[in-house]
Structure 1
Amino acid sequence: MIRFASLILLMLAGQGVAQDLTLPSGARQLSERVSPLDSYDLPTGPFADGTLPTRQVEGRVERITWRLQSGSSTTLQLLAPLRDQIIAQGYEVMFECEATKCGGFDFRFDTEVVPTPDMYVAIQDYRFLSASRGDDVLSLLVSRNPPSGYIQLIRVSPVDAEAPPPLVIEETVSQSGGLLTALTQNGHVILDDLHFRTGEITLGEGPFASLEVIAGYLADNPGVRMALVGHTDDTGALDANISVSTGRAQAVRVRLIEAHGVAADRLEARGIGYLAPLTSNATPEGRDLNRRVEAVLLVN
C-alpha cells in the first residue's frame, strides 16, 4: 500500500499566483504546469458512439503529475484514498470509470493527458474521475506500469474569484509498510523517490523517505545487510552505463552512512548498467523506469 502523507494544494488568487505543494511521501513530482487562463475539456461520461462527452471549462488550469511506487496496489487502491478525501472536502464526483468502461483506447486518446514521460497510461489499466465543488472542477487519472504508479491531477478554478479553499489529501495508508513488504516478500525494492541530475551521479539533497525506511529496517534487523544496485537505460556504451550506475549506487550508500548512521559494513554498492531492465527501452517512459537504484536484501 502507498502512503499519501499530506498532499496540500494552496491556491492564492491575484497577481503572482503562488502554490505551496507538499508531495506524498515516497512520490516524485514529474511535472507541473499552471496556465493563468486556459480551457479544459472535462470528460463527463464514457466514450461511446464515436464521441467523448465533455464540458468545456475556462479559468486557471493546473496540470500536475506524480510517479510513486505502487507495488501490488491496483489502480482502485491508488485512486480510492484520493477520491475519499476530495469528497470529504466538498467535491461531488460527476463521473468515474475504469479502463474498459471508460472506453479503453478511445477514451485515453480523446481526453487530455500530460505527455510521456511525465504521465504514463496503460490502455487496459487506468481509472478516471471528474468532480466539482462550486465553480471549481478537477479530474484525476491514475494508471500503473509496475512497479510504478502514475497520478495526473487537472484542476480548473475561476480566475476572477477569491482563492478557492485548499485541496488537502491527508495521510491514509503507510508507504513505509508497502516498501518493506515489497522488500521482504521479493528480496528487493526500487527506491523510487531518489533523484539525480541527468547524466550525473550526485544524489539530490532530499530528504528521501525511502532511505529513512531502509535505515530504520537495518536498525531493527541487525542480522541483515543491503546491496544497493544502480541501473540505467540503454543509451550509450555498457562500460559508461556501468560506471554511472555504480556511482549512483555508491552515492546512495554514502548518504545512508553519513545521514542515517548505517554502518558501512552493512551496505555494498554495485552498478550493472542496462543489463537488467524493468521494461523495454524503446519508449521514453520505459527508459525513465529503467533508470533506478534498488535495495537488495542480503540475509546471512
Structure 2
Amino acid sequence: MKLLKTITLLFIFSTGIYAQTTICPDVEGAEQHPLLSSYKNSCIVGYNVTKFDMVTLPISKITYEGAEKELTVEGKVTDILYGIESSQSTTILEVQRNYEQALKSSGLEIIYSAFGKKGVMNNNSAISREYESIASTEYLGSFKFLKDKDYRLAFNYLGRNKDNELAYFVAQGKRNGIDYTLMLYINYGRGNSELIEDKIFIQAKIIESESMETGQVSILSIDEKIKNEGKEIFHNILFDFGSDKLTENSYDVIKTLSDYLKANPNQEYYIVGHTDNVGSLSANQTLSEKRAKAVSNALTTKYGINESQISAHGVGQLSPLTINTTEEGRALNRRVEIVLK
C-alpha cells in the first residue's frame, strides 16, 4: 500500500512538472495578429498590447552605443512571445527565412535582416541593453499575459548561445490603410529553467499606425485606386454599433467621394457594404445592404449624385480582407467600397 502511494505521488509530481514546462496551448488572453501565425510546434507564451507608444528599432549591427542606423515609429504596439516546443529539428535560420518569406508574400518589405550573433551584434553587446523593449527581462515580465514568470528569461542567457542561435529582422509595409512595422527577434533558449532550456523563442513586435492618407481621402487617391484596382476601400466611413446610421465624421469622406463621382459622371459604380463575422450570416447580409444604401442615400440626397450612377449592394461577411479571429482583423473587414461597374 505504501509502495502504491509512493508511485502515485511520483506520477502526480512528474505530470505536474510536465504541465509547468509545456509551451502549448497559447497563454489565456492572447490573440494571433493578422500578419502572423504560430510556427510549427509553437504557441504564444506571452502577449501584450499597448494602445499607443513610440518604438525605436535598430536596423544595423548592435554595438555598445546602440545601432548606427535606427528606425523610430509610433502607434499601437502588439508584442507576442512565441515558444517552439520541439526545437531539436528546427533551426533559427529556418524560422527566420520562413517568417521573412511569409511577410514578403503578404506585401511587406524586409528592410533589415541579420543572422547569427556576429551578424546581429558586436562581441558581448546586447540588444536589450540599448533597446529595452526588445528581449529584456523587465519588459517581457511586464506583459499583461505571461504563461509563467520564467518566460521573461527567454533571452536572458545570450552569452551561452552559439553563433547560429540568434536572428533579427525588421519589415515594413501598408495593408488596408494601415502602416505596419514588424520586428522579429529569434533566439535559442539557454538557461537554468526547464521552461527555457533548448527551446526557440521569438519576440514579435508589431507597430501599426493609420496611414496619413487614411484620414485625407482625395479625388486623386480614389481615382488612382479605381484605375489600378477597380475599387477603393473606405475604413473611415463608419456607423453606429450594429446600425446603418452614419457617424458625423463619415460625411467628410462621403463628400470627397461625391466630388469624385461628379468628376466622372459617365461612369457607373457599385457601393458595397461589408461586415465582420459577428452575428448570423443573414443578419450581416441585411446590415451590409442597409449600410451600403445609407452611403448611397447620402450621396444622392445630400450631395446631389444621380441615382443612376450608383447602386447599393451588401455582401455581409463573405468577402473578408483578413481573418476575423482578432479585433484588428474584424475592424479591417468592416468597410465600404466603391467598385467600378
The normalised TM-score by structure 2 is: 0.43
The normalised TM-score by structure 1 is: 0.48
The structure in which a higher percent of residues are strand is 1
The structure in which a higher percent of residues are helix is 2
> Which structure has the greater CA radius of gyration?
2
